[in-house]
Amino acid sequence: GAVVSQHPSWVICKSGTSVKIECRSLDFQATTMFWYRQFPKQSLMLMATSNEGSKATYEQGVEKDKFLINHASLTLSTLTVTSAHPEDSSFYICSARARDRGFYEQYFGPGTRLTVT
């Protein structure tokens, strides 16, 4: 099946700095990728839809200037958390939409745990 990777798997950064998280589709091309955020013991919250070659579409309440998304190629989307603060500490998960077994589904990456100190 389709594989999605994320890098890094975990990162610690100081408050006020920016952090970039990469999401790659390893064996397929993905025109659409999604970014989610998950706080401890909570469900996944969709942040934005990333389309290759165009601007991302952000969900209501998500600051687009704080969470910069770039989908420059069919296999790579990046999420940059700018001027990170401790409240941005969370588990960030990406997914890529693919038609692998005759139907569309989202393949999820393993997640990136961000801790802002």
Partner 1 sequence: DAKTTQPPSMDCAEGRAANLPCNHSTISGNEYVYWYRQIHSQGPQYIIHGLKNNETNEMASLIITEDRKSSTLILPHATLRDTAVYYCIVTTSGTYKYIFGTGTRLKVLA
Catalog residues that contact partner 1 under the rule CB under 8 A: 4, 32, 34, 36, 43-46, 49, 91, 93, 95, 97, 103-111, 113
In DSSP notation, the chain reads: ---EEEE-SEEEE-TT--EEEEEEESSS--SEEEEEEE-TTS--EEEEEEETTS--EEPTT--TTTEEEEEEETTEEEEEE-S--GGG-EEEEEEEEEE-SSSEEEEEP--EEEEE-
Q: Which is nearer to partner 1, 51 or 82 (CB)?
A: 51
- Tell the residue number behind the tokens 């013991």, with chain if given: 41
Q: How far is CA 63 from CA 31, 70, 82, in A?
A: 23, 15, 10
Q: Which is nearer to partner 1, 77 or 95 (CB)?
A: 95
CB of 91 to partner 1, least distance (A): 7
Q: Which is nearer to partner 1, 32 or 70 (CB)?
A: 32
Q: Which is nearer to partner 1, 6 or 75 (CB)?
A: 6
CB of 42 to partner 1, least distance (A): 8
CB of 19 to partner 1, least distance (A): 19
CB of 2 to partner 1, least distance (A): 10
